Amino acid sequence: MTSKISLKEKQRRDREQLILDYAEKMLLEKGYHDVSMDEIAAGVGVAKGTLYLHFPKKEDLAYALVKPKMLSFLSSVEEAKAFSGGPIEKLEYLLQRELTGAFFQFLLKSSSDMTTIFKSYETEIHEVLSQIFSGIHEILNEGKREGVFDPELPVEFMSSAFINMFEPHLYKEMVVVRRMPLEVYIRHTAILFFQGIMKSKEMK
């Protein structure tokens, strides 16, 4: 019963994954508007009609790529909130968890397009982003209450700066091109966010 759903269903999922993989690669490389459905179909090796069997619209295909990353980020935020330790540890956990792997690449890379492309998913996206930010704000407020975070700074400032830390461009330059070890990259990111660029006296 467990494995009987498969056979055809498995093939279907495999194929869908092939599509998603190739689409992600191309979308990241050339941007939403410069990748055609033809191009994706050809690259995957299926007919264009097949794409539409899996994703009714181009928008849906792209969103199928963005959604799990957004949700993954959200669940990381939830995990961070539950993480044992103070607010600093929680944010470090989140940093560690999402800075590796695919993290926010897509969202940020296409951030400007987010609103223009995913019109049908506008509310859904807004919903998830709200939860993400409110989760981060919770942690930040906790930190403020505990006196470890600057009480003067609005959490919106902090969270926005925090999200900017995930900017994939820098990651690529440092980790991929210059081969900076990931843990060093994460450490620098943490220092930057927690202490700023001033010469510090302490930190951990």
Partner DNA sequence: CATGAATGAGACTTCATTCAT
Partner DNA sequence: TATGAATGAAGTCTCATTCAT
Q: For binding to DNA (CB under 7 A), which residues are involved?
A: 8, 11-12, 15, 34-38, 46-50, 52-54, 56-59
Nearer to a second copy, 75 or 126 (CB): 126
Nearest distance in Å: CB 126, DNA: 21
CA distance 28 to 106: 7
Those residues whose C-beta lies under 8 Å from the C-beta of residue 29, and which sit 6 or more positions away, are: 35
Those residues whose C-beta lies under 8 Å from the C-beta of residue 131, and which sit 6 or more positions away, are: 74, 77
Nearer to a second copy, 1 or 177 (CB): 177
CA distance 131 to 135: 6
Whether the Cβ atoms of residue 117 and residue 110 lie closer than 8 Å to each other: yes
Which spans of this chain sit near a second copy (rule: CB under 8 A)? 30-31, 33-34, 108-113, 115-116, 140, 143, 147-154, 156-158, 160-161, 164-165, 167, 169-170, 173-174, 180, 188-189, 191-201, 203
Nearest distance in Å: CB 94, a second copy: 14
Whether the Cβ atoms of residue 97 and residue 76 lie closer than 8 Å to each other: yes
- The CA-to-CA distance between both ends of the chain, in Å, stands at 52
Nearest distance in Å: CB 110, DNA: 15
- Of 155, 131, 18, 145, nearest to 76 by C-alpha is 131
Amino acid at 133: F
Nearer to DNA, 30 or 172 (CB): 30
Nearer to a second copy, 97 or 144 (CB): 144
Nearer to DNA, 46 or 186 (CB): 46
Name which of a second copy, DNA, none residue 131 binds, using a CB cut-off of 5 to 8 Å depending on partner kind.
none
Name which of a second copy, DNA, none residue 21 binds, using a CB cut-off of 5 to 8 Å depending on partner kind.
none
